[in-house]
Amino acid sequence: MTDTSAPAKPHLPDAQTVTEVTHYTDRLFSFRCTRPASLRFRSGEFVMIGLMGDPHPETGKQKPLLRAYSIASPSWDEELEFYSIKVPDGPLTSKLQHIKVGDEIILRPKPVGTLVHDALLPGKRLWFFATGTGFAPFASLLREPQTYEDYDEVIITHTCREVGELTYGAELIESIKQDEMLAELMGEGFADKIRYYPTTTREESPKMGRITDLMRSGELYEDLGVPPLNPDTDRAMICGNLAFNLELKDLFEAAGLEEGANSKPAQYVVEKAFLD
Protein backbone atom coordinates (compact mmCIF):
# COMPACT_ATOMS: atom_id res chain seq x y z
CA MET A 1 0.00 0.00 0.00
CA THR A 2 1.24 3.49 -0.77
CA ASP A 3 1.64 5.89 2.11
CA THR A 4 -0.30 8.99 1.12
CA SER A 5 0.24 10.95 4.36
CA ALA A 6 2.23 14.18 4.07
CA PRO A 7 5.96 13.74 4.67
CA ALA A 8 6.98 14.55 8.24
CA LYS A 9 8.53 18.01 8.64
CA PRO A 10 12.30 17.44 8.67
CA HIS A 11 13.74 17.80 12.15
CA LEU A 12 16.75 19.98 12.78
CA PRO A 13 19.76 18.12 14.16
CA ASP A 14 19.77 18.35 17.98
CA ALA A 15 16.37 20.07 17.80
CA GLN A 16 14.66 21.54 20.85
CA THR A 17 11.26 23.20 20.89
CA VAL A 18 10.71 26.81 21.98
CA THR A 19 8.20 27.02 24.86
CA GLU A 20 8.22 30.75 25.73
CA VAL A 21 9.55 34.01 24.25
CA THR A 22 9.72 37.39 26.05
CA HIS A 23 10.87 40.63 24.43
CA TYR A 24 12.27 43.33 26.75
CA THR A 25 13.53 46.06 24.43
CA ASP A 26 14.24 46.35 20.72
CA ARG A 27 17.74 44.99 21.58
CA LEU A 28 16.97 42.23 24.11
CA PHE A 29 14.80 39.14 24.50
CA SER A 30 14.74 35.85 26.38
CA PHE A 31 13.31 32.48 25.50
CA ARG A 32 12.80 29.06 26.99
CA CYS A 33 12.96 25.69 25.26
CA THR A 34 12.76 22.00 25.99
CA ARG A 35 15.82 20.40 27.59
CA PRO A 36 17.39 17.23 26.16
CA ALA A 37 16.85 14.44 28.68
CA SER A 38 20.56 13.62 28.61
CA LEU A 39 21.82 17.20 29.15
CA ARG A 40 23.60 17.70 32.47
CA PHE A 41 25.33 21.03 33.13
CA ARG A 42 26.69 23.13 35.97
CA SER A 43 24.89 26.43 36.59
CA GLY A 44 26.91 29.15 34.82
CA GLU A 45 27.99 27.07 31.81
CA PHE A 46 27.24 27.74 28.14
CA VAL A 47 26.23 25.67 25.11
CA MET A 48 26.17 26.24 21.36
CA ILE A 49 22.72 27.04 20.06
CA GLY A 50 21.37 28.29 16.74
CA LEU A 51 19.29 27.81 13.65
CA MET A 52 19.79 26.50 10.13
CA GLY A 53 21.53 29.07 7.93
CA ASP A 54 20.19 30.18 4.57
CA PRO A 55 20.53 27.67 1.70
CA HIS A 56 23.81 27.92 -0.23
CA PRO A 57 23.01 29.88 -3.47
CA GLU A 58 24.44 27.16 -5.72
CA THR A 59 24.12 23.85 -3.91
CA GLY A 60 21.00 24.68 -1.85
CA LYS A 61 22.66 23.05 1.14
CA GLN A 62 22.01 24.47 4.60
CA LYS A 63 24.48 24.53 7.46
CA PRO A 64 23.72 25.14 11.14
CA LEU A 65 24.51 28.67 12.34
CA LEU A 66 25.62 28.32 15.96
CA ARG A 67 26.77 30.69 18.71
CA ALA A 68 27.81 30.20 22.33
CA TYR A 69 25.01 31.10 24.75
CA SER A 70 25.16 30.97 28.52
CA ILE A 71 22.35 28.88 29.94
CA ALA A 72 20.31 31.34 32.03
CA SER A 73 18.26 28.67 33.80
CA PRO A 74 19.64 26.73 36.76
CA SER A 75 20.89 23.15 36.47
CA TRP A 76 17.77 21.74 38.18
CA ASP A 77 15.23 23.36 35.83
CA GLU A 78 13.41 20.97 33.50
CA GLU A 79 13.54 23.53 30.66
CA LEU A 80 16.37 25.73 29.39
CA GLU A 81 16.35 29.53 29.30
CA PHE A 82 18.49 31.90 27.23
CA TYR A 83 18.88 35.67 27.22
CA SER A 84 19.89 37.24 23.93
CA ILE A 85 20.76 40.45 22.22
CA LYS A 86 19.13 41.26 18.85
CA VAL A 87 21.64 42.50 16.31
CA PRO A 88 19.75 43.74 13.21
CA ASP A 89 22.37 42.43 10.77
CA GLY A 90 23.76 39.69 13.06
CA PRO A 91 23.88 36.38 11.16
CA LEU A 92 22.12 34.47 13.94
CA THR A 93 20.26 36.96 16.14
CA SER A 94 18.61 38.75 13.20
CA LYS A 95 16.75 35.42 12.70
CA LEU A 96 16.65 34.13 16.27
CA GLN A 97 14.80 37.23 17.48
CA HIS A 98 11.77 36.11 15.43
CA ILE A 99 11.37 32.65 16.99
CA LYS A 100 7.92 31.75 18.30
CA VAL A 101 6.54 29.14 20.68
CA GLY A 102 6.57 25.79 18.91
CA ASP A 103 9.55 26.62 16.65
CA GLU A 104 12.69 24.50 16.77
CA ILE A 105 16.20 25.63 17.58
CA ILE A 106 19.44 23.66 17.40
CA LEU A 107 21.15 22.95 20.73
CA ARG A 108 24.43 21.05 20.91
CA PRO A 109 24.33 19.29 24.29
CA LYS A 110 27.98 19.91 25.26
CA PRO A 111 28.05 22.42 28.14
CA VAL A 112 31.34 24.13 29.06
CA GLY A 113 32.50 27.29 30.83
CA THR A 114 34.49 28.86 33.62
CA LEU A 115 31.74 30.69 35.55
CA VAL A 116 31.18 27.73 37.84
CA HIS A 117 31.48 27.29 41.57
CA ASP A 118 34.14 24.59 41.05
CA ALA A 119 36.56 27.25 39.75
CA LEU A 120 36.43 29.32 42.96
CA LEU A 121 37.98 28.68 46.35
CA PRO A 122 35.69 28.96 49.39
CA GLY A 123 34.98 32.56 50.47
CA LYS A 124 32.49 34.75 52.33
CA ARG A 125 31.18 37.14 49.71
CA LEU A 126 30.43 36.29 46.08
CA TRP A 127 30.34 39.10 43.50
CA PHE A 128 28.71 38.78 40.08
CA PHE A 129 29.73 41.58 37.67
CA ALA A 130 27.69 41.82 34.47
CA THR A 131 27.11 44.19 31.58
CA GLY A 132 24.25 43.77 29.10
CA THR A 133 23.46 40.13 28.28
CA GLY A 134 26.38 39.13 30.51
CA PHE A 135 23.68 38.79 33.16
CA ALA A 136 22.65 35.39 31.68
CA PRO A 137 25.03 33.03 33.54
CA PHE A 138 24.18 34.82 36.79
CA ALA A 139 20.47 34.28 36.15
CA SER A 140 21.41 30.61 36.36
CA LEU A 141 23.74 30.91 39.37
CA LEU A 142 21.26 33.10 41.31
CA ARG A 143 18.83 30.17 41.19
CA GLU A 144 21.46 27.59 42.16
CA PRO A 145 21.32 26.40 45.80
CA GLN A 146 25.11 26.12 46.06
CA THR A 147 25.41 29.89 45.61
CA TYR A 148 23.70 30.40 48.97
CA GLU A 149 25.20 27.34 50.68
CA ASP A 150 28.74 28.54 49.94
CA TYR A 151 28.46 32.28 50.67
CA ASP A 152 27.09 34.67 53.31
CA GLU A 153 26.47 37.41 50.78
CA VAL A 154 25.82 37.43 47.02
CA ILE A 155 26.26 40.80 45.31
CA ILE A 156 25.15 41.22 41.70
CA THR A 157 26.10 44.34 39.79
CA HIS A 158 24.58 44.90 36.36
CA THR A 159 25.53 47.85 34.17
CA CYS A 160 23.50 48.65 31.05
CA ARG A 161 23.18 51.60 28.75
CA GLU A 162 19.45 52.12 29.39
CA VAL A 163 16.96 51.39 32.15
CA GLY A 164 14.85 49.00 30.01
CA GLU A 165 17.90 46.76 29.62
CA LEU A 166 17.87 46.08 33.36
CA THR A 167 14.32 44.63 33.28
CA TYR A 168 15.20 40.97 32.73
CA GLY A 169 17.58 40.94 35.69
CA ALA A 170 15.41 43.07 37.97
CA GLU A 171 12.34 40.91 37.34
CA LEU A 172 14.32 37.73 37.81
CA ILE A 173 15.69 38.84 41.17
CA GLU A 174 12.22 39.93 42.29
CA SER A 175 10.79 36.56 41.28
CA ILE A 176 13.56 34.70 43.13
CA LYS A 177 12.73 36.63 46.30
CA GLN A 178 9.07 35.67 46.05
CA ASP A 179 9.48 32.07 44.91
CA GLU A 180 8.21 29.68 47.58
CA MET A 181 9.58 26.63 45.80
CA LEU A 182 13.09 28.15 45.83
CA ALA A 183 12.70 29.06 49.52
CA GLU A 184 11.86 25.44 50.23
CA LEU A 185 14.79 24.21 48.17
CA MET A 186 17.35 26.68 49.55
CA GLY A 187 15.99 27.42 53.01
CA GLU A 188 13.86 30.35 54.25
CA GLY A 189 15.69 33.69 54.11
CA PHE A 190 18.20 32.63 51.42
CA ALA A 191 17.16 35.59 49.29
CA ASP A 192 18.22 38.03 52.02
CA LYS A 193 21.78 37.25 50.96
CA ILE A 194 21.20 38.86 47.54
CA ARG A 195 22.36 42.46 47.08
CA TYR A 196 21.35 43.86 43.70
CA TYR A 197 23.27 46.87 42.33
CA PRO A 198 22.00 47.98 38.91
CA THR A 199 23.57 50.96 37.13
CA THR A 200 22.99 52.70 33.82
CA THR A 201 25.37 54.77 31.73
CA ARG A 202 23.28 56.47 29.04
CA GLU A 203 19.87 57.00 30.62
CA GLU A 204 18.90 58.55 33.94
CA SER A 205 18.38 56.02 36.76
CA PRO A 206 18.82 55.96 40.56
CA LYS A 207 22.46 54.82 40.14
CA MET A 208 24.47 55.95 37.19
CA GLY A 209 27.96 55.12 36.00
CA ARG A 210 30.19 52.30 34.85
CA ILE A 211 30.75 49.80 37.65
CA THR A 212 34.51 50.04 37.08
CA ASP A 213 34.42 53.79 37.86
CA LEU A 214 32.20 53.21 40.89
CA MET A 215 34.74 50.68 42.18
CA ARG A 216 37.70 52.97 41.61
CA SER A 217 35.98 55.84 43.41
CA GLY A 218 34.91 53.54 46.26
CA GLU A 219 31.26 54.54 45.78
CA LEU A 220 30.21 50.93 45.17
CA TYR A 221 31.57 49.77 48.53
CA GLU A 222 30.16 52.81 50.34
CA ASP A 223 26.71 52.27 48.85
CA LEU A 224 26.67 48.61 49.85
CA GLY A 225 28.40 49.12 53.20
CA VAL A 226 31.01 46.45 52.47
CA PRO A 227 34.81 46.66 52.56
CA PRO A 228 36.75 46.80 49.25
CA LEU A 229 37.69 43.53 47.55
CA ASN A 230 39.89 41.33 49.71
CA PRO A 231 41.43 38.04 48.49
CA ASP A 232 40.71 36.37 51.86
CA THR A 233 36.95 36.93 51.74
CA ASP A 234 35.80 37.98 48.27
CA ARG A 235 35.18 35.84 45.20
CA ALA A 236 34.03 37.18 41.85
CA MET A 237 32.63 36.12 38.52
CA ILE A 238 32.69 38.49 35.54
CA CYS A 239 30.67 38.38 32.32
CA GLY A 240 30.56 41.30 29.95
CA ASN A 241 32.21 42.72 26.87
CA LEU A 242 35.93 42.25 26.36
CA ALA A 243 37.04 45.73 27.46
CA PHE A 244 34.92 45.45 30.61
CA ASN A 245 36.36 42.04 31.46
CA LEU A 246 39.92 43.29 31.02
CA GLU A 247 39.36 46.37 33.16
CA LEU A 248 37.84 44.31 35.93
CA LYS A 249 40.67 41.78 35.76
CA ASP A 250 43.13 44.63 36.31
CA LEU A 251 41.11 45.87 39.28
CA PHE A 252 40.96 42.38 40.81
CA GLU A 253 44.65 41.67 40.28
CA ALA A 254 45.47 45.03 41.87
CA ALA A 255 43.37 43.97 44.87
CA GLY A 256 45.36 40.70 45.09
CA LEU A 257 42.76 38.32 43.65
CA GLU A 258 43.93 35.57 41.29
CA GLU A 259 42.12 34.13 38.29
CA GLY A 260 40.78 30.62 38.78
CA ALA A 261 39.87 27.79 36.44
CA ASN A 262 38.11 24.45 36.69
CA SER A 263 41.49 22.76 37.05
CA LYS A 264 42.87 25.36 39.48
CA PRO A 265 40.27 27.14 41.62
CA ALA A 266 41.20 30.63 42.83
CA GLN A 267 39.50 33.94 43.62
CA TYR A 268 37.83 35.11 40.40
CA VAL A 269 36.72 33.83 37.00
CA VAL A 270 35.85 35.55 33.71
CA GLU A 271 33.74 34.79 30.67
CA LYS A 272 33.08 36.96 27.66
CA ALA A 273 29.42 37.71 26.90
CA PHE A 274 29.22 36.40 23.38
CA LEU A 275 27.94 38.85 20.84
CA ASP A 276 26.70 38.16 17.35
Contacts with ligand A2P by CB under 6 A lie at: 131-132, 159-161, 201-202, 210, 212, 241, 243-244, 247
Shortest reach from residue 135's CB to ligand A2P, in Å: 11
Our CB check for ligand A2P shows the closer of 132 and 169 to be 132
Report in angstroms how near the CB of residue 249 gets to ligand A2P at its nearest: 11
Q: Which is nearer to ligand A2P, 140 or 212 (CB)?
A: 212
What's the one-letter identity of residue 266?
Answer: A
| Closest CB 159 distance from ligand A2P, rounded Å | 5
Nearer to ligand A2P, 176 or 214 (CB): 214
Nearest approach in angstroms of CB 76 to ligand A2P is 30
Nearest approach in angstroms of CB 235 to ligand A2P is 20
Of residues 234 and 247, the one with the C-beta less far from ligand A2P = 247
| Residue nearer to ligand A2P on the CB measure, 12 or 170 | 170
